[in-house]
Amino acid sequence: MAGYFVANYTITNQAGYKEYLAAVGPTLEAHGAEFIVVDRDSELLEGSAGQVTIVLRFATKAAAEAWYKAPEYQAIRHLRTDNTDGIGVIAEGR
C-alpha cells in the first residue's frame, strides 16, 4: 500500500518558509515522492486548520517514513516547523 505524508499548516514567516520550499524538492525527488495535493488556500469546513494543505504519495508507508527520517530532510525540516504552525502525519492508503 502507498504511504502518504499529509501536512496542514499556517505560514507564520514567509521568508523562512521560502527557504524550505527551495530546499525540500531534491529530498522529495530522491525518495520518489509524488505531489497529490498542494493547496495554499484550503477551505476550512470543520475544526481548526491552516491555509496550506500538502499531500505527498510514496510507494509505501516505509518509504514515506524513510524520507521523513532521512538526514537530508531532517537537516531542513526546521525550516518548515520554525516558520509554520500546524501538523504533519504519515498514513497508509491506496
Domains and CATH numbers, the chain: 2-93 (3.30.70.100)
Give the DSSP letter of residue 86: E
Digitized pLDDT (tens) for each residue of the chain, 94 residues in all: 999 999 999 999 999 999 999 999 999 999 999 999 999 999 999 999 999 999 999 999 999 999 999 999 999 999 999 999 999 999 999 9
Contact 4, 90 (CB under 8 A): yes
Residue 82: closest CA among 25, 6, 9, 26: 9
**φ, ψ (nearest 5 deg) of residue 37:** -135, 130
Helical (H) or strand (E) element with 91: strand 84-93
C-beta separation of 25 from 50 below 8 A:
no
